[in-house]
């Protein structure tokens, strides 16, 4: 199939950052870029399957989200969406209503609530959930994914060996929250149905690829979707460390590489979140003196994990939000991966890096580690008086989500969403209008972090990330120009092309 895009404003994001009016896609490859007149004249005698008149719309390389949980989002669509709820009372009412419509013994699950804006309200507790039902296991998870609450009957499903479970309050932290999916074990058909329903939204946001955190079951799901040619999105999966043994037993050949789904590496969590006060900090939380958060591994445990992953030859995607967790990473990485410094040939990355100081930034630069950041975190929680200032105080807030500082140090940054929310344009806007003014990025740097830099981590920058002849045709069409428009809120995705196929079109 041959596709022409004409009369547009096409940012190539090549070395000279040229702007063109038109391009040609043959099969899945960009073959020509130039003026509209040049493209029309050169193809005058050729068969063109489709011509898209861009009407001065903007074209960029397709968005690639550097950190997603699409599998979880697909399941969450089947549960109670608490993302827009503003009080504990509203949550309890929704759970009560769902319980009435749910058969005895079946799970009632609510996800995505954000208590950062609640005023003078205590957190949810087991007692309140028990008052709703003692016949249904109930699980309610905070937006960060590191904090949850269950009722008494749900606690019966949790093994006594699990860490971070407070049976008195029903509060779960870290591994206990993450392990919840293994308790309810949704059927693969449920995962497939939810994911297929999610894809239209993904394409409407301009996403053409993601770095996705996966478990054994979601690997099976993506593998099946790709095998049946139902997967258009490019999915680069990182398996959670707890499922690594099961994965290797199931797939002894190691890394999976298929048309649209590649199992790339391993995901490791070193600490929790600021919202749950479990991110590991050097200094105590401003609103919880004496609490420095949690390191999820001892030095010995993490060293053992790093050595094993090194032997397997897998890239690591390592969650570290607090400065104490980042410090633990760099100290062990310097020893275990010394011969890979500073080249980082496998593309190891640190995820989130919300609380960091200048000395740690300098160390990361020397190590050659990629920084995978989530600008929507700043957009949602770094405003004056917001969650991050409550947790950290004003002094540490100034270096929270320090995107500009990363660039000044020359550390390569990649943007993603952590699916909170998934929208790349919201993330780009959050970086450009960072609540902390001296951490704001120029539009070019913000866009580049969402369309280009991630391919360097994956070793695929020769194929993706710019719109020049020879590159694979993954691109997004926008109604406005993020490099020039003052009101980014008005810009929308008008079209998405993946592998030369128009998967979303709204004009």
The CATH number of the domain where 135 resides is what? Answer: 3.10.310.70
pLDDT at residue 120 greater than cutoff 70 = no
pLDDT reported for residue 181 = 66
For 19-50, b/e burial (b = at least 16 CB within 10 A) is ebbbbbbbebebbbbbebeebbeebeeeeeee
Residue 500: strand, helix, or coil: coil
Distances (CA, A) of 34 to 4, 60, 300: 11, 15, 57
Based on the fold, state whether residues 174 and 288 are members of the same structural domain: no
* Rg, the chain, Cα only: 23
Domain count, the chain: 3
Tokens at residue 258, please?
Answer: 């298929």
pLDDT beyond 90 at 422: yes
Interatomic CA distance for residues 86 and 102, integer angstroms = 24
Does residue 297 sit in the same domain as residue 434? yes
- Comparing 157-171, 229-243, 423-437, 484-498, the range with the smallest average pLDDT is 157-171
CATH of the domain at 325: 3.20.20.140
Please say whether the beta carbons of 316 and 268 come within 8 A.
yes
Question: How is residue 67 annotated by DSSP?
Answer: E
Average pLDDT over residues 416-437: 96
Pull the structure tokens for residue 316.
């690591």
Span 275-285, mean pLDDT?
94
The model's pLDDT over 68-104, given as tens digits with 9 standing for 90+, comes to 999 888 877 778 888 888 888 888 999 998 988 888 8
374 plus 290 within the same structural domain: yes
Last residue of a domain, one of 154, 184, 214: 184
In-domain check, residue 206: no
Per mean pLDDT, which range of 60-69, 81-90, 348-357 is the poorest?
Answer: 81-90
State yes or no: cis peptide before 342, omega within 30 of 0.
yes
Residue 121 confidence (pLDDT): 62
Pairing of the two strands 63-68 and 207-214 = parallel
Pair (332, 474) in one structural domain: no
pLDDT at 257: 80
* Confidence tier at 353 by pLDDT (50, 70, 90): very high
CB 30 within 8 A of CB 469: yes
Looking at the chain, the whole-number percentage of residues with pLDDT higher than 90 is 68
pTM of the model: 0.88
Query: Do 52 and 7 reside in the same domain of the chain?
Result: yes
- Does residue 282 sit in the same domain as residue 403? yes
Segment 379-419, tens digit of pLDDT: 999 999 999 999 999 999 999 999 999 999 999 999 999 99
pLDDT score at 389: 96
Strand order in the sheet with 370-373: 63-68, 207-214, 234-240, 261-269, 316-320, 349-352, 370-373, 413-415
| Residue (of 374, 410, 307, 482) closest to 144 by Cα position | 374
Mean pLDDT of 432-461: 96
Euclidean distance between CA atoms 503 and 498, whole angstroms: 7
- Identify whether 379 is part of a domain: yes
On whether both 291 and 426 belong to a single domain, the answer is yes
195 within domain boundaries: no
In sequence order, what are the residues at sequence separation of 6 or more whose Cβ sits closer than 8 angstroms to the Cβ of residue 170? Answer: 125, 126, 127, 129, 149, 150, 151, 152, 154, 155
Residues 317 and 421 occupy one common structural domain = yes
Q: Per-residue pLDDT tens for 365-384?
A: 999 999 999 999 999 999 99
Query: Quick one: what percent of the chain has pLDDT higher than 70?
Result: 98
Q: Is the pLDDT of residue 14 over 80?
A: yes
Q: Are 275 and 316 found together in one domain? A: yes
Query: Looking at the structure, do residues 42 and 87 belong to the same domain, yes or no?
Result: no
Would you say residue 209 lies in a domain? no
Q: Given this model, what pLDDT does residue 142 score?
A: 85
Q: What is the pLDDT of residue 390?
A: 94
Query: Could you say which of 143, 168, 184 is where a domain stops?
Result: 184
Other CB atoms within a 10 A radius of the CB of residue 403 amount to 25
| Average confidence (pLDDT) over 176-193 | 75
> Quick check: 138 and 108 in contact, CB under 8 A?
yes
- Average of per-residue pLDDT values in the chain: 92
Buried b (16+ CB within 10 A) or exposed e, 57-87: bbbbbbbbbbbbbbbbbbbbeebbebeebee
Coil, helix or strand at residue 144: coil
CA 375 from centroid of its chain's CA atoms: 10
Q: State how far the alpha carbon of 295 is from the alpha carbons of 55, 80, 321, 448, in Å.
A: 53, 31, 11, 32
- Domain range spanning residue 275? 270-443
Residue 496 parent element (H or E): strand 493-498
**CATH number, position 482:** 2.30.40.10
Tell which wins on pLDDT, 178 or 473. Answer: 473
Last residue of a domain, one of 149, 169, 184: 184
Does any domain span residue 88? yes
The answer to whether residues 58 and 96 belong to one domain is no
Query: pLDDT at residue 254 above 80?
Result: no
Question: What's the pLDDT at 477?
Answer: 98
Q: Where are the alpha helices (DSSP H) in 260-414?
A: 299-312, 323-336, 358-367, 375-381, 387-397, 403-408
Is residue 274 pLDDT above 70, yes or no?
yes
Residue 204 lies in a domain: no
Helix, coil or strand: residue 504: strand
Contact 80, 110 (CB under 8 A): yes
Identify whether 262 is part of a domain.
no
Average pLDDT of span 224-243: 93
Co-location of 362 and 309 in the same domain = yes
- Whether residue 117 is contained in a domain is answered as yes
Query: What is the reported pLDDT for 337?
Result: 97
Give start and end residues of each alpha helix (H) in 43-103: 70-76, 88-100
Lowest-pLDDT choice from 95-104, 226-235, 474-483: 95-104
Convert the pLDDT of each residue in 282-330 to its tens digit: 999 999 999 999 999 999 999 999 999 999 999 999 999 999 999 999 9
């Amino acid at each position: 199939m041959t596709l022409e895009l004409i009369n547009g404003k096409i940012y190539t994001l090549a070395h000279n950052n040229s702007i063109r009016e038109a391009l040609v896609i043959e099969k899945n490859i960009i073959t020509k870029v130039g003026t509209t007149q040049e493209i029309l004249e050169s193809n005058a005698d050729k068969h063109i399957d489709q011509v898209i008149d861009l009407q001065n719309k903007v074209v960029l390389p397709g968005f690639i989200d550097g950190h997603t949980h699409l599998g979880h989002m697909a399941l969450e669509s089947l549960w109670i969406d608490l993302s827009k709820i503003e009080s504990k009372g509203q949550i309890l009412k929704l759970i009560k209503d769902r319980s009435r419509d749910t058969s005895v013994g079946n799970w009632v699950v609510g996800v995505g609530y954000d208590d950062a804006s609640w005023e003078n309200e205590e957190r949810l507790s087991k007692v309140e959930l028990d008052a709703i039902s003692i016949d249904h296991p109930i699980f309610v998870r905070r937006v960060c994914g590191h904090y949850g609450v269950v009722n008494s009957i749900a606690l019966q499903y949790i093994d006594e060996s699990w860490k971070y479970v407070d049976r008195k309050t029903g509060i779960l932290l870290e591994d206990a929250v993450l392990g919840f999916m293994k308790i309810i074990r949704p059927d693969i058909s449920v995962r497939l149905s939810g994911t297929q329903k999610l894809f239209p939204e993904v394409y409407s946001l301009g996403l053409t690829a993601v770095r996705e955190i996966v478990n054994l079951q979601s690997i099976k799901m993506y593998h099946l979707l790709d095998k049946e040619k139902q997967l258009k999105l490019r999915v680069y999966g990182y398996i959670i460390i707890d499922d690594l043994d099961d994965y290797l037993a199931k797939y002894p050949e190691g890394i999976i590489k298929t048309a649209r789904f590649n199992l790339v590496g391993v995901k490791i969590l070193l600490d929790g979140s600021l919202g749950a006060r479990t991110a590991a900090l050097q200094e105590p939380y401003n609103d919880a003196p004496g609490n420095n958060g949690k390191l999820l591994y001892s030095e010995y445990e993490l060293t053992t994990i790093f050595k094993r992953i090194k032997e397997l030859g897998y890239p690591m995607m390592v969650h570290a939000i607090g400065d104490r967790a980042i410090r633990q990473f760099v100290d062990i990485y310097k020893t275990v991966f010394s011969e890979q410094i500073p080249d980082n040939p496998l593309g190891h990355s640190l995820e989130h890096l919300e609380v960091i100081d200048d000395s740690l930034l300098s160390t990361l630069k020397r190590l050659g580690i990629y920084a995978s950041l989530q600008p929507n975190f700043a957009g949602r929680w770094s405003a004056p008086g917001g969650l991050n200032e409550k947790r950290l105080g004003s002094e540490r807030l100034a270096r929270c989500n320090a995107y500009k500082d990363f660039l000044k140090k020359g550390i390569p940054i990649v943007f993603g969403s952590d699916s909170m929310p998934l929208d790349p344009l919201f993330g780009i806007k959050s970086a450009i209008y960072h609540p902390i003014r001296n951490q704001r990025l120029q539009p070019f740097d913000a866009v580049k972090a969402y369309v280009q830099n991630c391919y360097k981590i994956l070793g695929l920058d020769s194929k993706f990330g710019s719109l020049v002849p020879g590159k694979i045709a993954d691109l997004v069409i926008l109604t406005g120009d993020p490099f020039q428009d003052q009101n980014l809120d008005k810009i929308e995705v008008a079209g998405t092309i993946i592998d030369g196929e128009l998967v979303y079109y709204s004009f």
